[in-house]
């Protein structure tokens, strides 16, 4: 599940990443003015199961989560994953997809998975024209 509002600069990369990880999405777009809805709509039928828009003048996280959950339930998922429009979630093992990691935990009987969060803030040395922010994820970090 993903909520999007004015994230056109990164949401395409996040969606592509999740699809490559075996994750299908439902997206609730919150009335963006930057073309985020159009970016997300390119993936409908190609990893995005459904895309809906709901514009509000007031941020109401509990209503957004409720709507996303209702959207997800229409597809009868085994698991529900909440992903930010600017977050790159990865499996803990190198070479393993996020889908495989979730299935592995489910096979062990778990019904909740905790993620570690690593934030990489852009610095003055980062080139904003580069466009691809995935070099800032943990993909290449293998302790």
Instruction: Give the residue numbers spanning the domain of 117.
Output: 2-140
In DSSP notation, 20-86 reads HTT--EEEEE---SSSHHHHHHTTBTTTEEEEEE---SS--HHHHHHHHHHHHHTT--S------TT
Which tens digit of pLDDT belongs to each residue from 74-123? 999 999 999 999 999 999 888 899 999 999 999 999 988 888 777 777 77
Interatomic CA distance for residues 14 and 108, integer angstroms: 28
List all residues 6 or more positions away from 114 whose beta carbon is below 8 Å from its beta carbon. none
% residues pLDDT > 90 (the chain): 64
How many domains, the chain? 1
| Mean model confidence pLDDT for the chain | 87
pLDDT band at 45 (very low <50, low <70, confident <90, very high): very high
Minimal CA–CA distance to 86: which of 122, 126, 127? 122
pLDDT at position 63 over 70: yes
């Amino acid at each position: 599940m993903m909520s999007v509002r004015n994230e056109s600069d990164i949401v395409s990369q996040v969606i592509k990443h999740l699809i490559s990880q075996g994750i299908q999405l439902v997206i609730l777009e919150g009335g963006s003015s930057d073309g985020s809805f159009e970016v997300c709509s390119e993936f409908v039928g190609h990893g995005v199961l459904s895309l809906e828009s709901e514009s509000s003048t007031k941020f109401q996280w509990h209503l957004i989560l409720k709507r996303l959950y209702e959207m997800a339930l229409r597809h009868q998922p085994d698991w529900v994953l909440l992903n930010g429009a600017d977050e790159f979630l990865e499996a803990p093992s190198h070479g393993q997809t996020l889908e495989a990691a979730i299935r592995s935990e489910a096979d062990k009987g778990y019904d909740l998975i905790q993620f570690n969060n690593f934030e990489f803030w852009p610095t003055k040395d980062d080139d904003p024209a580069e466009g691809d922010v995935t070099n800032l994820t943990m993909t290449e970090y293998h302790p």
